[in-house]
Each structure stands twice: as structure tokens, then as C-alpha cells.
Structure 1
Amino acid sequence: MKPDRRTFLRVLGAGSIGAATTGLFGGSAAAATVITMRGGGDDIWGTADAFHYHYTELSGDFDVAVQNTGIDNVESWTKAGPMVRESLDPDSKNVMVRRRPNGEASMQYRPEDGAETDSVGGTSADWLRLTRHGDTIETYRSTDGETWTSINTLGADDISLGDSVYVGLAVTSHLSGTLATATFQSLSGVEPDRNRDIGDVDVAGSVENTTGVPLVSTGDVTDVGPDSATLTGELGDLGGADSADCYFEYREVPTEAWQTTESTQLTSSGAFNVEADDLTERRYYEVRAVADTADGDTAWGAVSTFSTPSPSNSEVPADAGPDSASQFGPSDGFADAAPWLDDDTPVIVITEPTRRQLEKAVTVDGERLVVFETSGTIDLGVRDLPIPYDKCYIAGQTAPSPGVTLVKGRVNIAASDCVLQHVRVRLGDAGIDEPTEDWALDTVNTADETENNVIDHVSASWSVDECLSVGYETADTTVSNCLVAEALDDSVHPKGEHGYGSLIGNDAKNVAMLGNVWAFNTDRHPRLKEGTESVVVNNVMYDFEDGTWLDPDTEASIVGNAYLQPNSEKANVFAEDGVDTAVVYLEDNVTDDDDVAMVDDDVTVVDERPLWPDGLAAMPSDRTFEHNLANVGARPADRTATDERILEHVELGASYLVDSQKRVGGYPDLPVNSHELNVPNGGTRPWLRSWSRRVETPRR
């Protein structure tokens, strides 16, 4: 058993209440003061910012410290914290010590006006500190307001600020039309005297200062067992009341309702604790301390997250259970599918088909297996669904029939060591009337610089950019058994016609595309961009203008594919004119149009595979078409009408493009069915494979 899975995972705002009143700068506060800020805006990032700012103008040196006691989880990149900026223009150079909803404290800065923002990583902390001494900016984090850890130091070569600057607190929701609330206390070193929105903010922000309020903090969770844990907290200030009833609220992630413990009455500041003894094994829980004062005020501590362990482990071998019904399993490429997953991994159960539940699950910062007790259509609300933290396994095969389909948003795997399996994602134009860069999105992708990700048995359609892509400078990515179809052609992309299948970003290494079907897209089947290293094995490319496109300095092994119904005279495997540094190994690829060459003269064809996953066995190409139509997409044995229609059109030899999902029936409205899952204490991997096999066994 790994100790970190038994104990407290992440505290979002827990800290020393003693430090809240006597922190770094000494002295004792006469009464607690809480600053409540609400801010919208798309982000504090890139080349320009949009946020709410509570600030003053300062000259010379400063030393600012504050405790961020809470921040709304509007988006994973919602952020709050102290900031210095040279001007109030959106593109001003600045430095910020930021805190995110997962509790991570880190630093970001824009070195010049209008330049791209950069960041330096962090770890969990709720005290933030920003200092200036001459030309040097220093940033710190702390869990108690007394012992400080340096995040980073910037000199004049990194950022040069004028003598007169603006210093204060900043909040952005990362979602322009929605406000995020952040609370601060024990602010030292600056006295903000004004506030305003900076940049393009759809909803006005605000600041409220409250004095003489009660304060309570959520402490560590201790003695964590499979069904119980000791919850700890500290009452820091009664806010002038004679007494307070102190207790805890807790809930399993991602459920909505809080459960309440028994209370302890305190007449002075001090610690309190309660044992929660009705927990479920292998689950994540949120907890917060609460104080109800005799004067009628209520104070909440920040939310912390912890996980309960498995009570025991069976001797079920990890490799037990049925194999995939397909020729290709999730680990047959270069990626090792979720090597971290074992019988201790916490499980998050989705019980209703809502963005709120799924987003809560994927934004837990820790190993997690996401399973489904519900089917249905999950409306992403015309927003991205990022997976921002490593080690997330989304197991759509566990849902009851007909499974889950995500609509009106992109699934962006912005982390490493993740698996996305047996879900359908359909982006569409989502009611966007005019072309917009903000909605020029893929349907599913892995983000730049991620590694060891698997996308298996996913249906990705109705993209505005590409249907399914792999990010730049990634490593060890597998895309297997996916249906990549009906990219929107002449839709809402600002560049115009853009019905593309898949793009493999520059310098992506060890990308395996196995047993997929690309259909009814114009281009990129797939496009292997500059410096990529890929294998393209036993895929069907159907009804396309451009097949597999190789950029300079690419290496690829292209084996056993079927290039069917090409709509141009361009070779199925090609490079741009004049590109002579694309290297490819070709074996057993077929086409149904003898007038179209398999490879053009600009591609360097070699006799040995430049790369190949260990143990990968390709099928003969004469099996590819029938095998793939039986095995691709989410839940081949339990397909929805959209996937059935697409594959039937492939079988019938149809040729068409789609400009809007409205032309082919519109967004689906799947029935909401439910069942109860019994996640075993042992044999998690075989259990998942058995669910996969149930929905994969071909009916054709």
C-alpha cells in the first residue's frame, strides 16, 4: 500500500490560524478581516489579461503576503493572488503569485508588454508572498505564513519594472461570463484602495472587506481508513461572539449534497476534531470546517480533499481478464496504459450525465479511475473539458447502455499518463453563428508536451478544426480503435473550409495510430507534422482528398492500411513539393483506386522500419476494412445511431461532407439509464477489461 493514497491528498486553503493573526510581519490583529473578491475574465495569461484587480500605486520596494482561504473551482485555471504590474493596460508586464482551485501555488510573469506569459511550477500552499528589492522580484509560498519556500527569483534581465507600479490582489475566473469568488485574509505589506476590471470582462467584478468576522480553518485529515477518518479544524477568531458551534461538512466527489458531523462548542479559539465513520472505501472526499457563532454568523474553512484506501488486496493477477475484442489493445502502441492503476487507486463514480460531475472528477489532482453508473448525453456547455492533472482513467465502458456522449465542447487531455476509453465526443458548431477563433477546436486532443496517453475506442466527430489530434512535442501516445469522422467542412472556422481528420503536432515522438477509421473528412489522415515519429498501422482512410501527409524531417512506419475512395489524384502517402526529408517504411498498404499512387516521389522510402512498438503485430491489409468496421468507436456492440449511420455509409460506399451537425440529425439526446457498479477490492484491471469486452464484442 502506498502511504500517500491512505492520507490527506491536497489541502485547499488549510493553514495555521495562529499565523493568520500573528504571521510573518508580527503583531496581533484586533479583529479578523476577510477580503472577498469576485472576478471574471478569460484568463491572466498569454499576451493580455482579463481579470478583476484590487490594488494601489506604490513606489520602491515592497513585501506583500496574504493567505488565500478559498477560491471557486469555476475552471481548473481559475486563479487568485498578489500581483505587481507596471500599468493597468491588459498587456502590461507583470508578476503574479497565483493559487488555483486545486491548491497549487506557483508564479507567472509577462516579461514585456504584449509578450507571452511564462510560469514556474508550484505545489500546495495557501500563503502567498511577493517582494521587490531594487530590481529583484521574489515569490514565495507557505503553509503557515511563517516558514516560506522560494518559488522563483526574477532579476532585471527577466523583467524590468519602473519605480512606480501597481500592487494588489487579482482574480480571474478563466471563463469570461462567470464570476469566481476568492477570499483572502491577513493581507500585509500593501493597502489596496481601489479596484477595477482589467481587459475584456463580460461581468463586472467586485471587492468586499469585512471586519470582525469569525474565522475557521480546515486542518489535515488523519487516521484515514477504508470507511472512516478523523477530520480536524481550528477556530481562529470568534468575530466578537461568546461562542461558536464547530463542525465539518463532507461529501464524496463528485456528489452535490454535504453531510454534516456532530458539533463541538468552543468559547475561545482552538482546535477541534470529529471522526467520520460512514465513508466508502477507495473514494475521494471533500471536507470543510464550519463555525456557527452565537451571534448568528457562519464561517467556512477552505475545502480539502482526501482519499480512502482499499481495505484489502486480492491476489487477482493484473493481466487476468479478457483481451480486447480488437486486434489492438490499449498497450499495443508506444504508451503504457495507466501503469499507475492498481487495486488502491481511488474511484470516482459519475451518477448523473452532467458537466459538473464529470468536470469535478477529472479536476481532482491525484490518481483516479472515473467510472459511470449512468448513461446519457453530457452537455459541455460550449466550453472545453480539460483534463489538467496526470493519471486520469476515464472508463466509459462501465456506463449502462447506451453509454455516454459528450457534446458542445472539446475534450483536451492536458496531462500525462491518462486513458480515455469508450466515450463519444461530438463538438459541432454549438450555435456559433459567425466564424470565431475561440471555437476553432479539435473534438479530442492531447495537449502539447504531454506523454504516455492512450485514446482507445473513442468516437470523435463534428470538429471545427481536427476531429482527433496529438499535441506538439508529445511522447508515447496511442490512438487505437477510434472512429474519426465527419469533421465540419465549411463551418465556423475563421479560415473557411476545414474538414480535417487528425494532426500530429511538431516533434511528437512515438505516436501509434492503430486500427482506426477516418471517414468523411477532407484532409489529414493523418498529417504528420515536422519532426514527428509515428506508426500508422491497419487504419481505414475513407472518402478523402488528402491521405497521409508527411512534413519535413518526419519518420513513419505505414503498414497494412486501406486507402479507400480517394477524391484527388494526389498520392495516398505524400509530402509537399520539394520536401525530401520525409522518411517512410511502407508495407502491405492497399487502395481501391489504381489511378492514385500509394506514395509520391518526394517521400524517401526505406527498407527497414524506422520505429515500431515492441510486440505489435499488424494484420494483413485484406482484413483491415472488415475488422475495423466491426471494432472502431465507442462501444462497438452498443453503438448509437450516429456511429451506426457513419459506418453504414462507409460500407455502402457513400461520399459526402458535413458543414453542421444539423445536417445529419443534430446533437444526440441519449436515454439516461442507471445501474450500480460493484468496484472490486482486487483485480481492478481485469474488472475494467471485462467491462470493455462486454461493449466491444462485434455484432457484425
Structure 2
Amino acid sequence: MDLKLTLVLVGGMSLALFFSNCKKSSAHTETKEEVDTPNNPKPTPVNETAIAFPGAEGYGKNTTGGRGGKVIKVTNLNDSGAGSLREAINAVGARIIVFEVSGNIKLKSRLQIKNGDVTIAGQTAPGDGVCIQDYEMNIAANNVIVRFLRFRMGDLTQNEQDALWGRNCEKLIVDHCSMSWSIDECSSFYANKDFTMQYCILSESLNKSFHEKDDHGYGAIWGGRNATFHHNLLAHHNSRNPRFDGGSRSGTGKSPFGTDLVDYRNNVIYNWGSNSAYGGENGQYNIVANYYKPGPGTESSKNRRIMQISMEADLANYPPGYGSFYIAGNYVYGNAAVTADNWNGGVDISSGVVLSNARLSNAVSAEAITQQTAEEAYTRVLSFAGATLKRDAVDTRIVNEVKAGTATYSGSKTGKKGIIDSQTDVGGWPELASGTSPKDSDGDGMPDDWETANKLDPNKSNANGKDLSTGYDNIEVYMNSLVKSIIVEQVK
């Protein structure tokens, strides 16, 4: 500090001393600490333990995805290159993928997640959101969160795949996604560990399309060691609604995680053609409080079927050949007897299955979910499943058909009601309205207005801070806030 001594003569007799012109030396600049004042308020973080996201349930609920990682923005609908979804997915390291565009991403080849520790937040897209078409997305990595996206593949490329699928992975959760128009199954997840699929819509797999096995309008192959499937809608599939893998059978071999332990409850199954659920060789399953509603394309001989317990042919390599099942509380529309006792006509047994061994009197211990009765779950699934932040015309039509017990369209080649053969049978991909992404001055994935409203600095990148929550990154709080009303309402 520089001091200046000034002498002042007072009455010619005395001296007075004082200091003036005081200033700080440039060599000793002080750092001001941010202070919480009325003009500069600081947020108070919520004390909470983070799971994948609020509302995540089942075995995959502790998936962390890209938490703590970099934010990557999808800025165009291109198949590849700078700003594309493919470039963001192919990046290495923990990452959170957000969208500044909406519309259809027309893939030119498979989109494969090879590098894990990633969150794909479809709810961040403006307008009507994002749809992936022409080729499939495959998850081939651990620790992945996928939310609020559409996967409507179609037959333009004659690609014999599921719209979205994954196996041999750990810690996955797929939430509020919509899958349709696949040439193989709509969406298969099996041979995984610690997995959840929840509040998704799987509809209108293509039946007589370009599959090498000809008719193949199949819903899903589901399984896994510690796998949860809850509050999903399967509608307008000829078979595999779903096919339970088993984890050890001649068709798909032995899972690296062992035989299936699957909790399947509060799902809605509508207008299955020739078969609802079957399979499950050597696995353990809870099939609880699901809602079965046959439709105009359901064969009359199969309209009460909840499950067909299958038998493995190769007992030498895959003993004992059949699974064990706790089946209770399922509702079969129009069949009071099967609804009252699911085993009274609702379960078919393949030759060689010993009923006393296959039928469990108590549920297999499983990770809990917020469960309702089958009738209550029916209402919630139709209200909240799929990419519901902005439900598109396809999901809207499907849900209305389930409610009414109808099928608007039939297969152009087979004539089966609701079991279509091409996406052109139903008019193809709907146009998704575009929107403007909100201003984000610091590029951290959180809009300026939202940051200001939550006492964050919109000019200071702080996506991974814990200013708002002790468990979630700031950007996770933002992403979760976009769909908070849906998550709250679906469990009321």
C-alpha cells in the first residue's frame, strides 16, 4: 500500500498528519469470494442420493450414464460428421448428449454405442423431438441411459434388424422411448445384467416384409440377469409379446451373466396375432399385474393366453430345459375366469414341462418398482408410455386403438388387422415440427433463462457442478426438470 504523508500548518504553531491517496499495489491483487447477497443469491442444493434419474426403477435404476462427463450437443440431423448424433455417440469418455435440433435422423448404417458411460437425453430436443429411421441403434457398451427418443426403422433399406437392441452389457436403462416398424423384433434386450426398460411403446413390427424367414412381425426378445420390464406397451405384433430368452438355450446360447432372472410387471399387451408371451427356458420370471387385451387381429384360440412355457430340445447342453414362473394378478380383457386365476387357462405348457416345477407359489425376489393393479397400470401406460414429452401421430394413434379395441390399418400383403407389412401401410413417418433451441451463452447445455431462474451464472459453464443437488449434476437437474410433470403424474 502506498502512503502519502501530508503536513499542514495550523495557526503557524502545530502540525497535523493524515494519510491520503491509499491504493492497493498491483502486485497484490485480492480475489473476491462470491457472497450470497440479495443482489447475488446462491442456490441451495437439494440433499439427495442420485439414481439414474428421478423415476428410474428396477434393476437398472443405479445406472449413472454420463454423469460427471462432458456435454456434447447434437446440432444437425446428419448421419455423421461434426454436430451429428453419431459423432457424439462415438466420442470416448463420460458424456451427456443433448439436442439442439428436432426431426428425423436418416441413418446410412447401424448406429452403435461402443463406448459406455453415456446419457442420451432426447427430452432436450426442441419442437416435436427426434426420430431415428432407416437403420437401428445398437447398445454394445456398459452404463448407458437412453430417454425420450423414437426409433422407427422402416423398410427402405431392407435392414433385417430391431429398431433398438442390446445384449451382453451391464447397467442399462431405456426410458420413455418409442420403437416401431422393424423387420426383425421391435426392440430386443437380453443376456444383459442390471437392466431396465420402462414406459416404452413397442408397436407395429413389420410382418410380411424383407426378413429371411418371411412373416416376422415380432415384438421383442427380453431377458437378462436382474432385468426389469415394467409399464411398457406392446401393440400390433404377430408374436413374441415378448419371447423370454431364458439365458441358456440352443437358440441364443448361454448368457455371460447366467440364466434369466426377470421381473415383468404392469405392462400392456394388445392385439397379439398368433402368440403373446412364450419361452423362458431355464430362467426365473415374475409375470405380475400385466394387462392383456386381445384385438381384431388376435386369433380366437390364443385370446386368453398370458404365457406359453416352452421346452428346450437340447437337454444335454441346456438342462432342465424349462423355466420357473410366478404368474399372478394379470388381467385378461373379456375373460373373467382367467383374470381370477391366471393358471386357469391363461398358461399353456409345452410337452416335457413338469408343471409342479415350473409353477412357483411365491414371487422371485426382485428390485421393487411402483406397482399398480393391472387395471390401474393400463391407464398409466396409455397416458405416459413412449416419447410423451411430445407424443407424435404414430403413438397417438396406437394408444387410441388400444383404448377403442380397434385397428385402423391392415397388412397390405396379409390383410391381418393391425399387423402391418410396411410403414407405408399406415402412411409412413409423420412430420416432426422443428423448434428453436433456447439461448445458451456459455455452451454448457443449460439455457440462460433456466440458469438465471435457478441462481446459476449463464455466462459460466458449470454443467457438472453440484450447485442444485448433492447427487445430480446441474445439467441433470435441468434435463430432469423438462419431464418432471410426466414422472410425477405417472406414479400418483
Contact 1:429–1:491 (CA<8 Å) still a contact in 2? Answer: yes
Q: Secondary structure at the match of 2:476?
A: helix
Q: How many residues align?
A: 369
Q: Of 555, 558, 576, which aligns to 2:310?
A: 576
1:442 equivalent in structure 2? 162
Shift of residue 581, structure 1, vs aligned partner = 2.7
Distance 2:50 2:189 in 1: 30
2:204 equivalent in structure 1? 486
Contact 1:345–1:369 (CA<8 Å) still a contact in 2? Answer: yes
Contact 2:386–2:395 (CA<8 Å) still a contact in 1? Answer: yes
State yes or no: 1:451 paired with 2:451. Answer: no
Contact 1:426–1:443 (CA<8 Å) still a contact in 2? Answer: yes
How well do the aligned residues superpose, as a CA RMSD in angstroms? 2.6
Distance 1:322 1:316 in 2: 16
2:315 equivalent in structure 1? none
Q: Of 342, 347, 369, which aligns to 2:71?
A: 347
Q: Secondary structure at the match of 1:624?
A: helix
**TM-superposition CA deviations, 1:46-95 (whole Å, max 9, x none):** xxxxxxxxxxxxxxxxxxxxxxxxxxxxxxxxxxxxxxxxxxxxxxxxxx
Contact 1:630–1:698 (CA<8 Å) still a contact in 2? Answer: no
Shift of residue 637, structure 1, vs aligned partner = 4.2
State yes or no: 1:547 paired with 2:265. Answer: no
Q: Secondary structure at the match of 1:400?
A: coil
2:299 equivalent in structure 1? 567
Distance 1:559 1:698 in 2: 22
Contact 1:350–1:371 (CA<8 Å) still a contact in 2? Answer: yes
- Cα distance change of structure 1 residues 510 and 321 upon mapping to structure 2, 3 Å threshold: closer
- Cα distance change of structure 1 residues 321 and 387 upon mapping to structure 2, 3 Å threshold: closer
1:652 equivalent in structure 2? 404
What TM-score do you get using the length of structure 2 for normalisation?
Answer: 0.70
Shift of residue 510, structure 1, vs aligned partner = 1.1
For 1:598, the aligned partner's letter is G
**TM-superposition CA deviations, 1:467-486 (whole Å, max 9, x none):** 01114x32111110000000
2:11 equivalent in structure 1? none
For 1:672, the aligned partner's letter is S
**TM-superposition CA deviations, 1:653-688 (whole Å, max 9, x none):** 114111000111112332332213552443333222
Shift of residue 423, structure 1, vs aligned partner = 0.3
1:255 equivalent in structure 2? none
Shift of residue 497, structure 1, vs aligned partner = 0.5
State yes or no: 1:638 paired with 2:363. Answer: no
Superposed counterparts of 1:165-314, under 5 Å: none
For 1:585, the aligned partner's letter is Y
**TM-superposition CA deviations, 1:328-361 (whole Å, max 9, x none):** x32x11013432644x321001122222210000
- Cα distance change of structure 1 residues 387 and 318 upon mapping to structure 2, 3 Å threshold: farther
Contact 2:64–2:145 (CA<8 Å) still a contact in 1? Answer: no
Structure 1: stretches of 5+ with no match in the other structure: 1-311, 433-438
Distance 2:275 2:268 in 1: 13
- Cα distance change of structure 1 residues 624 and 340 upon mapping to structure 2, 3 Å threshold: closer
**TM-superposition CA deviations, 1:10-49 (whole Å, max 9, x none):** xxxxxxxxxxxxxxxxxxxxxxxxxxxxxxxxxxxxxxxx
Q: Secondary structure at the match of 2:196?
A: strand
- Cα distance change of structure 1 residues 431 and 364 upon mapping to structure 2, 3 Å threshold: closer
State yes or no: 1:661 paired with 2:423. Answer: yes
Shift of residue 563, structure 1, vs aligned partner = 1.1
1:518 equivalent in structure 2? 234
Superposed counterparts of 1:114-153, under 5 Å: none
Shift of residue 577, structure 1, vs aligned partner = 5.9
For 1:391, the aligned partner's letter is D
For 1:386, the aligned partner's letter is Q
Q: Secondary structure at the match of 1:626?
A: helix
Distance 2:43 2:97 in 1: 20
Shift of residue 498, structure 1, vs aligned partner = 0.4
1:692 equivalent in structure 2? 483
Superposed counterparts of 1:93-112, under 5 Å: none
Q: Secondary structure at the match of 2:380?
A: helix
- Cα distance change of structure 1 residues 367 and 642 upon mapping to structure 2, 3 Å threshold: same
Shift of residue 426, structure 1, vs aligned partner = 0.4
Shift of residue 694, structure 1, vs aligned partner = 5.3
Shift of residue 567, structure 1, vs aligned partner = 2.8
**TM-superposition CA deviations, 1:546-605 (whole Å, max 9, x none):** 122133212101111011115353432112368873211122111014287221244522
Distance 1:696 1:355 in 2: 31
1:213 equivalent in structure 2? none
**TM-superposition CA deviations, 1:215-265 (whole Å, max 9, x none):** xxxxxxxxxxxxxxxxxxxxxxxxxxxxxxxxxxxxxxxxxxxxxxxxxxx
Distance 2:61 2:431 in 1: 34
Distance 1:371 1:425 in 2: 17
Contact 1:322–1:690 (CA<8 Å) still a contact in 2? Answer: no
What TM-score do you get using the length of structure 1 for normalisation?
Answer: 0.50
Contact 1:337–1:417 (CA<8 Å) still a contact in 2? Answer: no
State yes or no: 1:336 paired with 2:61. Answer: yes
State yes or no: 1:608 paired with 2:324. Answer: no
Structure 2: stretches of 5+ with no match in the other structure: 1-41, 248-259, 313-319, 339-344, 408-417, 447-462, 467-473
- Cα distance change of structure 1 residues 379 and 606 upon mapping to structure 2, 3 Å threshold: same
Distance 1:321 1:338 in 2: 7
**TM-superposition CA deviations, 1:613-636 (whole Å, max 9, x none):** 1x32321112021110001001x2
Structure with bigger helix share is 2
Distance 1:684 1:316 in 2: 14
Query: Identity over aligned residues, as a percent?
Result: 28
Relative contact order (C-alpha < 8 Å, sep 6+): which is higher?
2
**TM-superposition CA deviations, 1:87-138 (whole Å, max 9, x none):** xxxxxxxxxxxxxxxxxxxxxxxxxxxxxxxxxxxxxxxxxxxxxxxxxxxx
2:10 equivalent in structure 1? none
Distance 2:286 2:172 in 1: 20
For 1:372, the aligned partner's letter is F
Superposed counterparts of 1:22-171, under 5 Å: none
Q: 383-392 or 529-538: which moved more?
A: 529-538
Distance 2:286 2:153 in 1: 31
